[in-house]
Structure 1
Amino acid sequence: MQKIILLVTSLTISTWSAWAQSPTPPSQRANTRFEQLGPMLPTPNTFRTASGAPGKDYFQNRADYDIKVALDDAHQKITASETITYHNNSTDILPYVWIQLDQNLFRPDVISKTSQTGGINAERGASLQQLNATKSLAEKDYGYKITSVRDQAGKPIKYTINETMMRIDLPQPVSPGKSATFSIDWNFNIVDVRNVGARSGYEFFPKDGNYIYEMAQWFPRLCAYNDVTGWQNKQFLGRGEFTLIFGNYKVAITAPNDHIVGATGELQNATQVLTPTQQKRWNEAKNKGDKAGENPVLIVTQAEAEAAEKGKPTGTKTWIYKADNVRDFAFASSRKFIWDALQPNVEGKRVWAMSLYPKEANPLWGQYSTRLVAHTLRSYSRRTIAYPYPVAYSVHGPVGGMEYPMMSFNGARPEADGTYSVGTKNFLISVVIHEVGHNFFPMIVNSDERQWSWMDEGLNTFLEGLACLEWDADFPAHGIDPQYIVDYMRLDSTQQVPIMSSSDNIPGNTFGPNAYTKPGTALNILRETVMGRELFDYAFKEYARRWAFKSPEPADFFRTMEDASGVDLDWFWKGWFYTVQPVDQALVKVDWFQASSQNPDITKADARAEAQRKMNTISKQRDALSKDETVVAQDSTMRDFYNRYDPYAVTDNDKKKYQDYLASLTAEERLLAEAGTNFYTLSLQSKGGIPMPVIIRMEFEDGTDSVARFPAEIWRFNDVAVKKVIATPKKVKQWTLDPFYEIADINTEDNSFPPVAKPTRFQLFKQQGRSSAPNPMQQQRQQAPARQGTGKN
Structure 2
Amino acid sequence: MLKQQPFIALIAFILTIGTSFGQTVPAPSKYDYEKAFAPIFYTQNGNEYRSASGKPGVKYWQNRVNYTIKVRLNEERKEIEGVVYLDYTNNSPDRLDFLWLQLDQNLFSKKSRGAQIVPVGKSRYGSHDTPFDGGYTIEAVKGADGKSIAYQVNDTRMQVFLPEALDATGGNTKLAIHYRYTIPDYGADRTGILQTAHGDIFAIAQWYPRMAVYDDVLGWNVQPYTGPGEFYLEYGDFNVEITAPSKHIVVCGGELLNPDEVYTEEQLKRWEKAKKSDKTVMIRSGEEVTNPTSRPQGKKELTWRFRLNRSRDIAWASSSSFIIDAAKINLPNGQTSMAVSAYPMESNGNNAWERSTEYTKSSIEYYSSKWYPYPYPIAVNVASNIGGMEYPGIVFCRSTAKASSLWGVTDHEFGHIWFPMIVGSNERLYAWMDEGFNSFINTLSKEAFNNGEYRTAKYNGHDLARVYFSDDVEPIMSSPQNMKESNIGTLAYRKPQLALTILREHILGEERFDRAFKTYIDYWAYKHPTPFDFFRTIENVAGENLSWFWRSWFQYNWKLDQAVEGVKYVENDPAKGAIITVSNLEEMPMPLIVEIVSANGNKQRIKLPVEIWERNQTFSFKVATNERLKSVVIDPDKVFPDINPANNNWTDVQ
TM-score (norm. length: structure 2): 0.91
Matched with 1:273 is 262
Does the aligned pair in 1 maintain the 2:288–2:294 contact within 8 Å?
no
Does the aligned pair in 2 maintain the 1:78–1:188 contact within 8 Å?
yes
Matched with 1:522 is 499
User: Given the alignment of the two structures, is residue 491 of structure 1 paired with residue 470 of structure 2, yes or no?
Assistant: yes
Query: Structure 1's 425 and 42: CA in aligned 2 closer, same or farther, altered over 3 A?
Result: farther
Which of 358, 371, 381 does residue 384 from structure 1 map onto?
371
Matched with 1:706 is 604
Does the aligned pair in 1 maintain the 2:31–2:587 contact within 8 Å?
no
- Is the deviation greater in 683-692 or in 240-249? 683-692
Query: Structure 1's 269 and 474: CA in aligned 2 closer, same or farther, altered over 3 A?
Result: closer
Matched with 2:159 is 167
- Is the deviation greater in 483-492 or in 686-695? 483-492
The offset of 1:678, in angstroms, is: 4.5
Moved over 6 A (4+): 21-28, 128-131, 309-313, 478-481
Q: Report the 3-state secondary structure (helix = DSSP H, G, I; strand = E; otherwise coil) of the residue aligned with 1:342.
A: strand
Matched with 1:33 is 36
User: Given the alignment of the two structures, is residue 79 of structure 1 paired with residue 70 of structure 2, yes or no?
Assistant: no
Does the aligned pair in 2 maintain the 1:478–1:484 contact within 8 Å?
no
What 5-or-longer segments of structure 2 have no aligned partner? 1-8, 11-23
User: Given the alignment of the two structures, is residue 181 of structure 1 paired with residue 174 of structure 2, yes or no?
Assistant: yes
Does the aligned pair in 2 maintain the 1:588–1:684 contact within 8 Å?
yes
Does the aligned pair in 2 maintain the 1:698–1:706 contact within 8 Å?
yes
Matched with 1:62 is 64
TM-score (norm. length: structure 1): 0.75
Q: Report the 3-state secondary structure (helix = DSSP H, G, I; strand = E; otherwise coil) of the residue aligned with 1:485.
A: helix
Amino acid at match of 1:76: K
Matched with 1:303 is 287
User: Given the alignment of the two structures, is residue 409 of structure 1 paired with residue 396 of structure 2, yes or no?
Assistant: yes
The offset of 1:227, in angstroms, is: 0.4
Does the aligned pair in 2 maintain the 1:479–1:517 contact within 8 Å?
no
Q: Report the 3-state secondary structure (helix = DSSP H, G, I; strand = E; otherwise coil) of the residue aligned with 1:329.
A: coil
Matched with 2:520 is 543
How far apart, CA to CA, are the structure 1 residues paired with 2:640 and 2:370? 23
Percent identity over the alignment is: 35
Query: Structure 1's 150 and 587: CA in aligned 2 closer, same or farther, altered over 3 A?
Result: same
Matched with 1:400 is 387
The offset of 1:514, in angstroms, is: 0.5
After TM superposition, list the pairs within 5 Å mapping 1:425-574 onto structure 2. Answer: 425-471=403-449, 473=452, 475=454, 482-483=461-462, 485-492=464-471, 495-574=472-551
The offset of 1:593, in angstroms, is: 3.3
How far apart, CA to CA, are the structure 2 residues paired with 1:130 and 1:175? 39
Does the aligned pair in 1 maintain the 2:579–2:620 contact within 8 Å?
yes
User: Given the alignment of the two structures, is residue 135 of structure 1 paired with residue 129 of structure 2, yes or no?
Assistant: yes
User: Given the alignment of the two structures, is residue 690 of structure 1 paired with residue 588 of structure 2, yes or no?
Assistant: yes
Does the aligned pair in 2 maintain the 1:256–1:313 contact within 8 Å?
no
How far apart, CA to CA, are the structure 2 residues paired with 1:305 and 1:593? 81
- Is the deviation greater in 342-351 or in 696-705? 696-705
Matched with 1:221 is 210
After TM superposition, list the pairs within 5 Å mapping 1:2-13 onto structure 2. Answer: none
Q: Report the 3-state secondary structure (helix = DSSP H, G, I; strand = E; otherwise coil) of the residue aligned with 2:106.
A: helix
How far apart, CA to CA, are the structure 2 residues paired with 1:309 and 1:509? 48
Does the aligned pair in 2 maintain the 1:462–1:479 contact within 8 Å?
no
Instruction: Render the CA deviation track for 1:638-689: whole Å, top value 9, x for unaligned.
Output: xxxxxxxxxxxxxxxxxxxxxxxxxxxxxxxxxxxxxx84422222122231
Does the aligned pair in 1 maintain the 2:246–2:300 contact within 8 Å?
yes
After TM superposition, list the pairs within 5 Å mapping 1:238-249 onto structure 2. Answer: 238-249=227-238
Does the aligned pair in 1 maintain the 2:110–2:116 contact within 8 Å?
no
The offset of 1:412, in angstroms, is: 5.3
Amino acid at match of 1:450: R
Matched with 2:19 is none
The offset of 1:74, in angstroms, is: 1.2
Query: Structure 1's 730 and 329: CA in aligned 2 closer, same or farther, altered over 3 A?
Result: farther
Q: Report the 3-state secondary structure (helix = DSSP H, G, I; strand = E; otherwise coil) of the residue aligned with 2:273.
A: helix
Query: Structure 1's 678 and 517: CA in aligned 2 closer, same or farther, altered over 3 A?
Result: farther
How far apart, CA to CA, are the structure 2 residues paired with 1:594 and 1:392? 69
Matched with 1:727 is 624
Amino acid at match of 1:350: T
Does the aligned pair in 2 maintain the 1:268–1:320 contact within 8 Å?
yes
Query: Structure 1's 319 and 556: CA in aligned 2 closer, same or farther, altered over 3 A?
Result: same
- Is the deviation greater in 374-383 or in 78-87? 374-383
Does the aligned pair in 2 maintain the 1:480–1:521 contact within 8 Å?
no
Matched with 1:421 is none
Q: Report the 3-state secondary structure (helix = DSSP H, G, I; strand = E; otherwise coil) of the residue aligned with 1:169.
A: strand
Does the aligned pair in 2 maintain the 1:412–1:425 contact within 8 Å?
no
Matched with 1:230 is 219
How far apart, CA to CA, are the structure 2 residues paired with 1:174 and 1:43? 30
Amino acid at match of 1:169: F
Amino acid at match of 1:170: L
Q: Report the 3-state secondary structure (helix = DSSP H, G, I; strand = E; otherwise coil) of the residue aligned with 1:105.
A: helix
Matched with 1:43 is 45
Name the structure with the higher strand share: 2
Matched with 2:568 is 591
Amino acid at match of 1:387: Y
Matched with 1:126 is 121
Q: Report the 3-state secondary structure (helix = DSSP H, G, I; strand = E; otherwise coil) of the residue aligned with 1:36.
A: coil
How far apart, CA to CA, are the structure 1 residues paired with 2:388 and 2:484? 20
Query: Structure 1's 64 and 28: CA in aligned 2 closer, same or farther, altered over 3 A?
Result: closer
The offset of 1:366, in angstroms, is: 3.9
Does the aligned pair in 1 maintain the 2:474–2:557 contact within 8 Å?
yes
Query: Structure 1's 382 and 34: CA in aligned 2 closer, same or farther, altered over 3 A?
Result: farther
Matched with 2:6 is none
How far apart, CA to CA, are the structure 2 residues paired with 1:317 and 1:134? 38
The offset of 1:80, in angstroms, is: 1.4
The offset of 1:217, in angstroms, is: 0.3
Amino acid at match of 1:102: D
Amino acid at match of 2:280: P
Amino acid at match of 2:288: E
Query: Structure 1's 167 and 129: CA in aligned 2 closer, same or farther, altered over 3 A?
Result: closer
How far apart, CA to CA, are the structure 2 residues paired with 1:152 and 1:129? 40
Q: Is the radius of gyration larger for structure 1 or structure 2?
A: 1
How far apart, CA to CA, are the structure 2 residues paired with 1:747 and 1:25? 14
Matched with 2:275 is 286
How far apart, CA to CA, are the structure 1 residues paired with 2:354 and 2:115? 41
Query: Structure 1's 367 and 725: CA in aligned 2 closer, same or farther, altered over 3 A?
Result: farther
Matched with 1:108 is 110
Q: Report the 3-state secondary structure (helix = DSSP H, G, I; strand = E; otherwise coil) of the residue aligned with 2:99.
A: strand
Query: Structure 1's 747 and 476: CA in aligned 2 closer, same or farther, altered over 3 A?
Result: farther
How far apart, CA to CA, are the structure 1 residues paired with 2:645 and 2:26? 26
